[in-house]
Structure 1
Amino acid sequence: MASQTEYNPDNHVNDNASDHMAKEKAGVTMIESIEDSGALDTIEETKPGAFVWLCAAATAIGGLLFGYDTGVISGVLVVLGDDLGGREVTDSQKEAITALCAAGALVGAVIAGITSDKYGRKPAIWFASVLFTLGAIIQATSYTVAQMLVGRFAIGLGVGSASTIVPLYIAEISPARFRGRMISVDMIFLATGSVLAYAFDAAFYTVNHGWRYMIGVGAVPSIILGILLFWCPESPRQLMFHGKREQCESVIRSIYVNATEQQIAEKMISIEYGVNSSKALNEEISLKKSLSMLFTIPANLRAGIAACGLMFFQQFCGFNTLMYYSSTLFDIVGFSNPIAVGTVVAGVNWIFTFLSIFIIDRVGRRRLLLWTMWGMPVCLVLAAIAFNWVPIDHRTLELTSDEVGWPAYLVLVAMILFVAFYAAGLGCVPWQANEFLPMEVRAMGTMMINVFNWGPNIVVSSTFLTMMKNITPSGTFGFYAALCTIGWIFVFFCFPECAQMTLEEVRRVFQHGFGVKYAEQWRKDYKKGQTARNATADAQKV
């Protein structure tokens, strides 16, 4: 499909002027001629091989560990008792244990973002698998709060590295038409990790010191991840970035197994042009300059705002308070087996995350968000109303009655519906937003996305119990409902639809403001072009 926009020098930092600009324009002309031929569109329409799906599934074990290690703490907090130092763990210590994982993840995300371009995506994922293993061992053998905090921070480093690089790696190996579904594999594994965490929490709930087994089990999938990585290739764009053209072509052939030689050749030209443009910039600029490019180049800034903003609202919608404190929450409202009840919520999260994989590329990210995010504040308001009728001492968060009444069941229903709305949209889409970022700032931009993920996560995890006491449960849920509403408005105005675009095409969207209208027009033109090509193909058959 022909490009609808001329080259815009604002997309690059070029202090050296005309010679480099001439090369850039020549490169854009070449890419546009390839687009005119339809080659880039037709290769994306070919069926990918099983190999790329297996690579996505293997690396998505990092997502499973993310879900497991953030979800398992919900049951651990309920049964810790006095195992750490001989004293009951206080609410402030519980918040610290929970928040240290998010703090470690923030640091891990920054480290992964800084190093993954230089050393590649695979080493960062290997680094995460080692940290997952060490963190699980340190926590499972803890006998003091301090050791537990060290273990939580170590596991957080792994979570941060995996959450930064795994979606990025999958995005870079995925065909454009299947990118949303392949990245959703990571989200399914993440949700699966949460379900497994609650399942093992429930299994060891009545076992003496069972929390040690809950945590220790997490070392097993991290070892499996480290082994499977030996069979996964480096991202083709990273191989091209490091001058390994033959290896890059080999990976492209393994991804697009049904592509013609012409399609492979022109895909290589497209990747090589995009990578070389980014490489030329990276050779001229420092790490500091790369970071500044996110803020000083208008198109990059808008892409960063859209991606980071959505991640911000993913955290401040309140979902992770359920993942971290659901067992505590259901204990507060009076359920006798709060971990089992929490498992139901985790199961709903898995079901709707799984369903999203089949509709995200067909419906589109933007439409999916607009269809689901409106329900989240409604459910939170419903829970806030129900909490007004739950007999709780707000100073201690303990029930003043042993009876589990209708308000407790209403809270449960509201939370189940909230999780369903979340998992179908906001739970998976933000992790795909790194596709908004040009390659020269993609790793750094993904790092920033994770900063906006884990920064708010630290706030949420370290303040939830305190907020429940200080502004009441109803006030806490009302606060998150208001933020969910603001998030829906943000998506409406600032989040464009980039489904079916190649990563090279996505970079043009934010040259047109936040690109919402431009992206809609692109999709219309794409469908027209696809219809025309199909008609031509049918005519040739006749």
Structure 2
Amino acid sequence: MSKLFEDSNKESAEIASAAGSSQDDLKASTQHNEDVFIDPQGAKYDLELDPGVTHDMLNKRFNLDGEVAELDQLGDSFKKERTFWGKIRALEFETNFKNKQHMVYMLGAFASFAGILSGIDQSIISGASLGMNKMLDLSTHEASLVSSLMPLGAMAGSIIMTPLNEWFGRKTSIIISCLWYTLGAILCAAANSHHIMYAGRFILGVGVGIEGGCVGIYVSESVPSTVRGNLVSLYQFNIALGELFGYIIGIIFFDVYGGWRFMVGSSLVFSTILLVGLFFLPESPRWLVHKGRVGEAWNVWKRLRDTSQDTARVEFLEMTQVAKQDEELHKEESRFQAWFDLVRIPRNRRALVYAIMMISLGQLTGINAIMYYMSTLMQNIGFDDKQAVAMSMVGGAALLIGTIPAILWMDRFGRRTWSMTIIVFSLGLVLVGIGYKININTHLAAAEGVYLSGQILYNMAFGSYSALTWVLPSESFSLATRSVGMTVCSTFLYLWAFTVTYNFERMQNAMTYTGLTLGFYGGIAVVIGIPYQLFFMPETKNKTLEEIDDIFSKPTREIVKENTRNMKRFLSRFGRK
């Protein structure tokens, strides 16, 4: 819970809203010019630091204990009325922990495990293509389509993610993505022509697209704000881990006849593990509130939060109040009209532009093209076929290592500070481009050394940066537009992934590899990325999703002014030192 407002009228209004008070209570509270959480000496109180004082005040004015008692009754009624078939439809074996953090971490870990599937299916084609292209007699164009059809399928998966999210829920949508993975992996492993391989890769992509948007929403809606960045970043860690697994699987089956079939079919193992784990997780409490299932949501909330603390109680009541306001706002609208709220309402429009920009900066700096063609690039720098697949693990391992600091420290340093890792991976792109300019016939060791140093630096820094790709969109949208917002963002993410992957060979031939990495990928990072992040990027660390609503309710010019003031203050302090 953030520090309370200094202005007592605003403060009364916010806490009244958080406690779910009626409009009459809210109106009455704003008419009195009395301090609610500020003593005569001007001391400010915080729900976490001053629980005794704030609890009495909340009870006196808003009957917090009474509100919680009503929620307990709703939760108990839901348990009694729930039928056997209702439990089956929930697709859950209910688990509970005395320490609520254990449930939070279990949810974050299992949901984020989906990233391993995405990572494997992105990188496995790098090693599989060497044998697959020969056995299926693929042309250069057909091989490019096999690589790029997965992100194209992911675009389709992103588009159907919103209806799945709305109708079935966040967790169930991830379960559905596992079924797409399974079907796609079977088709790829059994392919005897490029047409079947096209279908398999596209279907795998649909699973990736559904999962990619759902995991971020599911985790961000379920876990506390203090660990939200860390746990959503864990998804990117698992993507990187999956990409490393893809290269390792490539080495394991490299010398096996038809080993590429085992490579592309390996998703079956991991999708089964994910599917089993999901049956022990609850549905998103915010989605349940959004659907009017408040009693069920409160039962889930009590498994994820210590509801003896006022912070957890107020957050839930604030969440229900926001859901009611959204319902009132959209009561007279059709579903089609409600989707246009994403661009019609300024608060949502700002979040959409911001999320798309951050996703575009991550994808248009070349990571997917470099990962998909890692083995080919290693061959071009002087390694033979098997060495090229083995050395691809260097890039995968660097990407994995780079995500670890994001998991540990993003919530500590903040999103804006973390975004400056874009400078480091830009330096890595410079080294990668220079490595290709060194003549491998006369200076092989130097070419490989510079190129690999650039790859390691680029992938490590990008591993840290790319965590923002999933964290920022998942926390930026309002409750009513979160699904459709993530659909648009995921669609853009995979559109850019398809674009840079499918056109990689053409762009490399037109610009040379050095021109592509330095001029195009590096140019986007330096010329567009750094200025945008310095001036237009808000800070959302340690904010509840409802508090982030207030940030995007500000005009963009206010965010720019605030960022400019903060930079001037930082530079003046730095100058004095």
TM, length-normalised to structure 2: 0.80
Question: CA shift at 1:380, angstroms?
Answer: 1.4
Amino acid at match of 1:340: A
Residue equivalent to 2:164: 115
Question: CA shift at 1:465, angstroms?
Answer: 1.4
Question: CA separation in 2, counterparts of 1:192 and 1:40?
Answer: 36
**Counterpart check, 1:265 vs 2:313:** yes
Give the match's secondary structure for 2:135. coil
Residue equivalent to 1:11: none
Question: CA shift at 1:4, angstroms?
Answer: 7.5
Question: CA shift at 1:95, angstroms?
Answer: 1.3
Give the match's secondary structure for 1:80. helix
Equivalence map 1:246-261=2 (5 Å)? 246-257=295-306, 259-260=307-308
Equivalence map 1:402-421=2 (5 Å)? 404-421=444-461
- Asked if structure 2 preserves the Cα contact closer than 8 Å seen for 1:324 and 1:461, the reply is yes
- Asked if structure 2 preserves the Cα contact closer than 8 Å seen for 1:34 and 1:40, the reply is no
Evaluate the alpha carbon distance shift between residue 243 and residue 68 of structure 1 in structure 2; reply closer, same or farther with a 3 A threshold.
same
Residue equivalent to 1:361: 411
Evaluate the alpha carbon distance shift between residue 105 and residue 282 of structure 1 in structure 2; reply closer, same or farther with a 3 A threshold.
farther
Residue equivalent to 1:101: 150
Residue equivalent to 2:182: 133
Give the match's secondary structure for 2:326. helix
Residue equivalent to 1:495: 537
Residue equivalent to 1:339: 389
Question: CA shift at 1:198, angstroms?
Answer: 0.8
Amino acid at match of 1:66: S
* Aligned match for 1:69, one of 113, 121, 124: 121
Question: CA separation in 2, counterparts of 1:299 and 1:176?
Answer: 20
Amino acid at match of 1:269: L
Question: CA shift at 1:477, angstroms?
Answer: 1.1
**Counterpart check, 1:508 vs 2:550:** yes
Name structure 2 gaps, 5 residues minimum: 11-21, 39-43, 52-98, 567-577
Amino acid at match of 1:319: I
Question: CA separation in 2, counterparts of 1:505 and 1:150?
Answer: 43
Question: CA separation in 2, counterparts of 1:232 and 1:26?
Answer: 40
RMSD over aligned Cα, in angstroms? 2.9
Task: Tell me whether 474-483 or 403-412 shows the greater mean CA deviation.
Answer: 403-412
- Asked if structure 2 preserves the Cα contact closer than 8 Å seen for 1:202 and 1:340, the reply is yes
Question: CA shift at 1:456, angstroms?
Answer: 0.8
Residues matched between the structures, number: 491
Task: Tell me whether 272-281 or 124-133 shows the greater mean CA deviation.
Answer: 272-281
**1:89-137 per-position Cα deviation (integer Å, ceiling 9, x unaligned):** 2221121111110011011011112331232112211110001111111
Question: CA separation in 2, counterparts of 1:26 and 1:92?
Answer: 66
**Counterpart check, 1:194 vs 2:234:** no
- Asked if structure 1 preserves the Cα contact closer than 8 Å seen for 2:178 and 2:274, the reply is yes
Residue equivalent to 1:83: 135
Question: CA separation in 2, counterparts of 1:34 and 1:219?
Answer: 56
Amino acid at match of 2:128: V
Evaluate the alpha carbon distance shift between residue 284 and residue 224 of structure 1 in structure 2; reply closer, same or farther with a 3 A threshold.
farther
- Bigger Cα Rg: 2
- Asked if structure 2 preserves the Cα contact closer than 8 Å seen for 1:113 and 1:164, the reply is no
**1:510-535 per-position Cα deviation (integer Å, ceiling 9, x unaligned):** 22234646887999xxxxxxxxxxxx
Give the match's secondary structure for 1:317. coil
Question: CA shift at 1:240, angstroms?
Answer: 1.2
Evaluate the alpha carbon distance shift between residue 34 and residue 153 of structure 1 in structure 2; reply closer, same or farther with a 3 A threshold.
farther
Equivalence map 1:245-324=2 (5 Å)? 245-257=294-306, 259-260=307-308, 262-324=310-372
Amino acid at match of 1:203: I
Residue equivalent to 2:398: 348
Residue equivalent to 2:497: 457
Evaluate the alpha carbon distance shift between residue 26 and residue 213 of structure 1 in structure 2; reply closer, same or farther with a 3 A threshold.
farther
Give me the identity figure in percent.
26
- Asked if structure 2 preserves the Cα contact closer than 8 Å seen for 1:48 and 1:175, the reply is no
TM, length-normalised to structure 1: 0.84
* Aligned match for 1:436, one of 462, 472, 476: 476
- Asked if structure 2 preserves the Cα contact closer than 8 Å seen for 1:40 and 1:267, the reply is no
Question: CA shift at 1:187, angstroms?
Answer: 1.5
- Asked if structure 2 preserves the Cα contact closer than 8 Å seen for 1:509 and 1:518, the reply is no
**1:301-329 per-position Cα deviation (integer Å, ceiling 9, x unaligned):** 11111111000111001111121111111
- Asked if structure 2 preserves the Cα contact closer than 8 Å seen for 1:335 and 1:404, the reply is no
Task: Tell me whether 279-288 or 177-186 shows the greater mean CA deviation.
Answer: 279-288
Question: CA separation in 2, counterparts of 1:324 and 1:418?
Answer: 15
Task: Tell me whether 150-159 or 111-120 shows the greater mean CA deviation.
Answer: 111-120
Residue equivalent to 1:215: 264
Residue equivalent to 2:81: none
Residue equivalent to 2:488: 448
Question: CA shift at 1:33, angstroms?
Answer: 7.5
Equivalence map 1:513-528=2 (5 Å)? 513-514=555-556, 516=559
Amino acid at match of 2:47: A
Evaluate the alpha carbon distance shift between residue 41 and residue 423 of structure 1 in structure 2; reply closer, same or farther with a 3 A threshold.
farther
* Aligned match for 2:523, one of 482, 486, 505: 482
Evaluate the alpha carbon distance shift between residue 403 and residue 212 of structure 1 in structure 2; reply closer, same or farther with a 3 A threshold.
farther
Question: CA separation in 1, counterparts of 2:181 and 2:370?
Answer: 22
Question: CA shift at 1:448, angstroms?
Answer: 1.1
Evaluate the alpha carbon distance shift between residue 161 and residue 518 of structure 1 in structure 2; reply closer, same or farther with a 3 A threshold.
farther
Question: CA shift at 1:280, angstroms?
Answer: 2.9
Residue equivalent to 2:570: none
Task: Tell me whether 149-158 or 351-360 shows the greater mean CA deviation.
Answer: 351-360
Question: CA separation in 1, counterparts of 2:521 and 2:311?
Answer: 48
Question: CA separation in 2, counterparts of 1:27 and 1:410?
Answer: 69
Question: CA shift at 1:355, angstroms?
Answer: 2.2
**Counterpart check, 1:173 vs 2:227:** no
